[in-house]
Amino acid sequence: MSKLTIGLVQQSCTADRQANIDKSIAGIREAAARGAQLVVLQELHCGLYFCQSEDTGQFELAEPIPGPSTEAFGALARELGVVIVTSLFEKRAPGLYHNTSVVLEKDGRIAGKYRKMHIPDDPGYYEKFYFTPGDLGFNPIDTSVGRLGVLVCWDQWYPEAARLMAMAGADLLIYPTAIGWDPNDSAEEQQRQLGAWVTIQRAHAVANGIPVVSVNRVGFEDDPSGQGAGSQFWGNSFVAGCQGELLAEGGNDQEQVLVVEVDRKRSENVRRIWPFLRDRRIDFYDELVKRYRD
């Protein structure tokens, strides 16, 4: 399969879980009707981004795998004949939780899962309180539409994660995301943050010669603790080709379903003229496993 049509569902979320799920399902249906063979949802799309504060009550939102979300979206994948990348708050055991993406094959079965490896702990993003770092490594998930290098949000800032997925044979990189602006930041600072976010991911496409799919939520969400100003999620979901070119880009203030075709054969052609994997000096990279070179 050289040509692959991908759907991205960029949505806002509220405290009404079922309404959020219904919105995700409607987006998947729209993307499939427009020809999408693979549909990607944003990070934690079933609810609000609850990590703005630390609240033990939020652990009630977690669910097992398989569980309600994988059953519902698996049934939809089977009905529509599409591969779906979904995201959920995984309850692995009492007191053990992960931020997990699940890939559902077009026959409805679970093709694989990825547990978020890099966990932030910053104002408005207190994820270390909720999520145990992933333990599944950086391994692409094989599907009928290709090998999917699924990563999650904060992972997108780390070139090591993208490289390891590419080295394991990923056909494309996929980043379900929840990132936004602090409303108190200046307009100039907000644009710097957005520009950095887009640039780093386009760079992963260039450095590895494979497309990048990034799906972010949109809309304002209050900080439930009242300590912060809340978060204005900036949307801007996009697909970059294997030379970093933007193939599709969403707005930052509206819900959208993007559908774009990528030519996976271009990865082979681009890697022939930009052979970064060939020229890596692996005999001198041992220092990369250190935290810092003192």
What single DSSP character describes residue 63?
B
Alpha helices in the chain (DSSP H): 17-33, 68-80, 159-167, 187-208, 265-273
Tokens 């609000």 belong to which residue?
48
- CA nearest neighbour of 144 among 84, 101, 65, 87: 84
pLDDT at 100 (0 to 100): 98
For 3-289, CATH number out of 3.40.50.150, 3.60.110.10, 3.40.50.1820, 2.20.28.10 equals 3.60.110.10
3-class SS at 285? Answer: coil
3-class SS at 271? Answer: helix
Catalytic, out of 13, 46, 51, 153: 153
Residue 266 has pLDDT above 90, yes or no: yes
Which pLDDT band, with edges at 50, 70 and 90, does 213 fall under?
A: very high
Please confirm, yes or no, whether 116 is among the known catalytic residues: yes
Once rounded to an integer, what is the mean pLDDT over residues 94-121?
98
3-class SS at 5? Answer: strand
Which pLDDT band, with edges at 50, 70 and 90, does 235 fall under?
A: very high
- Per-residue model confidence as pLDDT tens digits over 134-162: 999 999 999 999 999 999 999 999 999 99
Which pLDDT band, with edges at 50, 70 and 90, does 220 fall under?
A: very high
**What's the mean per-residue pLDDT of the chain?**
97
By CB atoms closer than 10 A (0-12, 13-18, 19+), residue 104 is buried
Which pLDDT band, with edges at 50, 70 and 90, does 253 fall under?
A: very high
pLDDT at 257 (0 to 100): 98
Which pLDDT band, with edges at 50, 70 and 90, does 265 fall under?
A: very high
List strand residue ranges (DSSP E) for the chain, in order.
3-10, 38-41, 83-93, 96-104, 110-115, 121-122, 125-126, 141-143, 146-150, 172-177, 180-181, 212-216, 218-221, 231-234, 238-240, 246-249, 256-263
Please confirm, yes or no, whether 13 is among the known catalytic residues: no
Residue 85 has pLDDT above 90, yes or no: yes
Which tokens belong to 141?
């998930």
Once rounded to an integer, what is the mean pLDDT over residues 77-82?
98
- CA nearest neighbour of 17 among 53, 60, 46, 41: 46
Which pLDDT band, with edges at 50, 70 and 90, does 77 fall under?
A: very high
Phi, psi of 237 (to 5 degrees): -55, 145
- Per-residue model confidence as pLDDT tens digits over 18-75: 999 999 999 999 999 999 999 999 999 999 999 999 999 999 999 999 999 999 999 9
Residue 80 has pLDDT above 90, yes or no: yes
Catalytic, out of 13, 23, 43, 113: 43
Please confirm, yes or no, whether 153 is among the known catalytic residues: yes
* Cβ density class 49-77: b for 16+ within 10 Å, e for less: bbbbeeeeebeebbbebeeebbebbbebb
pLDDT at 244 (0 to 100): 98
Measured between its terminal Cα atoms, the distance across the chain in Å is 48
CA 229/CA 152 separation, integer angstroms: 24
pLDDT at 8 (0 to 100): 98
* Cβ density class 167-183: b for 16+ within 10 Å, e for less: eeebbbbbbbbbbbbee
CA 114/CA 161 separation, integer angstroms: 12
Q: Considering the chain, what percentage of its residues have pLDDT values greater than 90? A: 99
Residue 1 has pLDDT above 90, yes or no: no
Domain ranges of the chain: 3-289
- Which residues, listed in sequence order, are joined to residue 84 by a DSSP beta bridge? 39, 104
Catalytic, out of 23, 91, 113, 116: 116
pLDDT at 246 (0 to 100): 98
